[in-house]
Chain A
Amino acid sequence: MKKLILFLISSVVITTSTAVLSKANNKDLYFSEGLFYAYQEDYFDAISRLDAELGQYYGLDEPELNTLHQYINHAEFSIGDFELYYRMHKRAGRAIKSVIEADVEDTVRNEAVYRLAKIFHQKQQPENALETINKIRGKVGDKIFYDLELLKAQIYISNKRFTDAIGILEDIESISKVEGFSGYNLAIAYIGNDNIEKGILQLDKVGQIVSNDKTVLAIKDKANLVLGYKLMENKRPQEAVKYFQRIRLDGPFSNKALLGLGWANIAAENYQRALVPWTILSKRKVTDPAVQEVLSGLPFTYGKLQAHGQAAVLYGHALESYSRELESLDASIKSIREGKFLKAIVREEYKKDKNWLINLRNLPEAPETHYLMSLLASNDFQESLKNYFDLVQLGKKIASWDGYLDAYSEIIETRKQYYTPLFPSIQDKFRSLDSRMKLRQAQQEKVSNRLNHMLIAPRPDYLATAGERIFLENISVLEKKLKKQNQFNAEVESRIARLRGFINWNIEIDYQQRFIEAHENFKQLEDGFIQLDQVYRSFVRTRQAATQSYIGYDDTIQQLKIRISQADEKIKLLLARQGYMLERMAVLNLQEQRKRIEELQIKSRFALAESYDRAVKAQQNEDIEKLKKLTPDSKQQSGPESGKTENSQSENTETAKPEPESAASETVGDSQ
């Protein structure tokens, strides 16, 4: 609205331009219209419009005259491409396959091969992907050249052909378009090829890439995380530290990195250093499992630093957080089971751009959406969610179409009522005019033939004027009359011949001029006939259009209504099934989280008790030490014995109290 007001009132420079009309280029407007929607990521409209256009194109008698003809392969390919974007892999696969088998340019075919191979790769069908990618031949377009090389290498990795993958990836590693991804995959290929050290070096290299690209930075973080994890696995925690430290604090892997960094320091017995990343992590959103883990990991570290009081306080905080989380999880599970989860996420405003999935983070805080981010981490959940959204969208379209068909039926009925009484009288008038027109057309044709014939055999008599014809006729009548009265003598005959000769002389003398005039007149007549023919054809078309405006739609509309109704039922059914699956995924995920938190809670309770014991003992030791200082005699009586008892108690306590999930193992290991 604001824009409209601005449009109307803003002061602007107005240029009234001279109209420029140009000859149309050969762009196919309907194909470009499909692209208009595709570029806005409205693939439903793009496919639907292009499908309609292709249907019309294939129904033409002479499709080669249509502007779409020169783009037909591109259009066929595009529709497959859009279907792929609309996550219709089954259909897109078929459409693109048809392009592969068609006689098209290498670049177009190879792009189709690339797309199809990518689908198989995404669907985790490595053999099919390999078979497809092997169909690449001839020139590859610049647009996909490096993407294709990267995909080829990924497919080789999936098929365990690591050497082939390494060969490709080493060549494209330095190409900026595939920066990060090529290097990361190269490391995976080295590791797959049992060249662990080279793989680690490669991951290290990827982990140091300098870039502003978010996706490259994400792959850089991932390389460092994998490398850190790999070193931890190989019992090299001190080396792992620097890789975890390289990971951005605001990236998608930051929580895992902070957790890993803490564990690496603990494994290296640098407890003080573990506190820094874990303190940061403990202040983050507690719905993340890494944060939940660190809530008990942090007091465990304080315990290791003999700060038992602080550890006890933090265990207390952890238990409070776990209790809150368990309540929150229960509320979320209840809310999801009541169907509120699906209602909350199916909101139009969150799907307005391509980052709609990310926008879901902005959903208002509610039990049903509290754990949404952890659910969205799964590809299966994301895909199911997208399907659910698509089904909701389809349902809305179907609902609106039913209304369209009712409106069309009404239009048809109105037209029928208007035209039906008019047609009989129009038809009568048309028949009368039609017969008159046909008569005139026959006359025109006769005159045309005569004039054409006169070009070969001149006939001046045909060009006599009406007056001359009457005059000649009168002479003939007079001649007959005189003959009948026996008054026809030589003198009369001579006079009649002279009269005839006078008229014929004029006709013969003016013949050429008259012939030219006759042609000119005939041409004017022809122009008149052309106009008449146009009116006639226009009338026929209008009559036909009027007839077609209400006849022959009933079956189509009826069939469409049935199909719409069937589709509607199917959508409702699928929506319910997809919704149920999503809810089930969500609930199972939350139940799993609940189980984990309960385990952490139990371990934390034991650890809390242990920390209190240790804190109390430490306090007692301190008090005893103070007393010893005040009363030096008592040292000899109780000192050694009490110290022994404390130590043994402390050891027993440590053995009896389990630590948090990960830390507990360590504690048990220590005591053993």
Chain B
Amino acid sequence: MINLRVILAFLSLLFIFQSPAWSETVSREQIKGLDEQVQDIKKDVLAISSELKLLEEKLLFPSNTQVSLFISVVKNSQYTPDAVQIKIDDKAVAHHIYSFKEVGALQRGGVQRIYTGNLRAGEHKIDIDVKGRKTNSELETSRSSFSIKKDVGAKLVEISLGSGDSLIELKER
């Protein structure tokens, strides 16, 4: 008899642990209904965000003058960027210090748009300073200068880090 009583008590205890107290007064339907409304507003806000991005690009960076700089890390290079500074025509335009999450995202193949601005058509000089680590090595600063040609269309430049001795490679689009 003792065992049965104890077991029943134990079962009721487990039941108490597993049943939320609000289940009777806040129904699953209510939770689901509100969740769907939250999803709908997320959809609306995302649509606004996309339109704003397009508007911003059109208004502030028209394609005839637009130049965008992207930072990527060569996949499987184990290069860990710490900070980046970029100058265009001797004028500092961007600098960034990387967080742990950003480094992880770059190493997995993500690309960071570090700068979007406007440039006249013609030749321009880009100076890049990168501070980072190769696998288990000391912090090292790499510097490179490049020349890019801006034509009439939007110019996209990928700065690829961690490849070869220079650790900096430029890919023009």
Contacts and interface: CB of A to CB of B under 8 A. Distances in A.
Contacts of B156: 29
Interface stretch (A340-348, A389-397, A433-441): A389-397
Contacts of A593: 21
Contacts of A581: 26, 30-31, 34
A90 interface: yes
B17 to A, nearest CB: 6
Contact of B35 (A20, A56, A383, A591): A383
A15 B143 contact: yes
| Contact residues on A (Cβ < 8 Å of other chain), bracket | 35 or more
Contact of B152 (A44, A89, A269, A538): A538
Contacts of A401: 48-49, 52
B58 to A, nearest CB: 8
Contacts of B166: 15, 17-20
Given A12-B131, A390-B38, A47 B111 contact: no
Given A16-B143, A387-B35, A4 B97 contact: yes
Nearest to A388: B38
Given A12-B140, A20-B164, A668-B5, A89 B41 contact: no
Interface stretch (A98-106, A232-240, A481-489, A605-613): A232-240
Contacts of B171: 21-25
Interface in B87-121: 97, 101-102, 104-106, 108-113, 121
Contacts of A267: 2-3, 6-7
Nearest to A571: B41
Nearest to B53: A52
Contacts of A90: 36, 39-40
Contacts of B82: 3, 7
A88 B72 contact: no
A289 B21 CA distance: 13
Nearest to B171: A24
A408 B6 contact: no
B16 A235 contact: no
B123 interface: no
Interface stretch (A278-286, A542-550, A631-639): A542-550
Contact of A574 (B1, B38, B111, B131): B38
Contact of B1 (A591, A592, A669): A669
Contacts of B5: 665-666, 668-669
A553 B62 CA distance: 14
A585 B20 contact: yes
Contacts of B62: 545, 548-549
A81 to B, nearest CB: 14
Interface string B54-93: 1110111010110010101000000000110000000000
Contacts of A578: 34, 38
B28 A391 contact: no
B77 to A, nearest CB: 14
B155 to A, nearest CB: 11
B39 A88 contact: yes
Given A548-B62, A553-B55, A578-B38, A48 B170 contact: no
Contacts of A91: 39, 43
Interface in B6-30: 6-14, 16-17, 20-22, 25-26, 28, 30
Given A563-B44, A585-B20, A229 B138 contact: no
B8 to A, nearest CB: 7
B21 A588 contact: yes
A43 B28 CA distance: 26
A55 B46 CA distance: 13
Contacts of B56: 404, 408
Interface stretch (A129-137, A197-205, A258-266): A258-266
Contacts of B124: none
A469 interface: no
A390 B45 CA distance: 11
A556 interface: yes
A310 interface: no
A458 B25 CA distance: 102
Contacts of A29: 68, 70, 111, 113, 156, 158, 173
A570 B28 CA distance: 22
Contacts of A577: 34
B26 A13 contact: no
A328 to B, nearest CB: 17
Nearest to A12: B141
Nearest to A268: B3
Contacts of B83: 3-4, 7
Nearest to A395: B45
Nearest to A1: B97
A541 B168 CA distance: 34
A11 B139 CA distance: 9
Contact of B22 (A67, A269, A574, A585): A585
Contacts of B145: 19
Contacts of B48: 398, 401, 560, 563-564, 567
A107 interface: no
A25 B31 CA distance: 48
Contacts of A229: 10, 14
A567 B38 CA distance: 11
A56 B54 contact: yes
Interface string A299-323: 0000000000000000000000000
A506 interface: no
Interface stretch (A31-39, A420-428, A496-504): A31-39
Interface centre among A232, A260, A593, A672 (most CB of B within 10 A): A232
A263 B110 CA distance: 53
A467 B113 CA distance: 65
A36 B105 contact: yes
A537 B102 CA distance: 42
Nearest to B45: A394
A275 B80 CA distance: 54
A111 interface: no
A87 interface: yes
Given A3-B97, A394-B41, A17 B142 contact: yes
Nearest to A50: B50
B53 A574 contact: no
A519 interface: no
A25 B70 CA distance: 14
Contacts of B58: 548
13 contacts: A3-B82, A17-B168, A25-B171, A27-B158, A33-B111, A33-B113, A40-B102, A49-B50, A380-B20, A397-B49, A541-B64, A545-B64, A567-B45
Given A237-B3, A574-B41, 13 more contacts: A12-B141, A21-B169, A25-B171, A27-B158, A29-B173, A48-B49, A229-B10, A380-B28, A384-B31, A394-B41, A567-B41, A581-B30, A665-B6
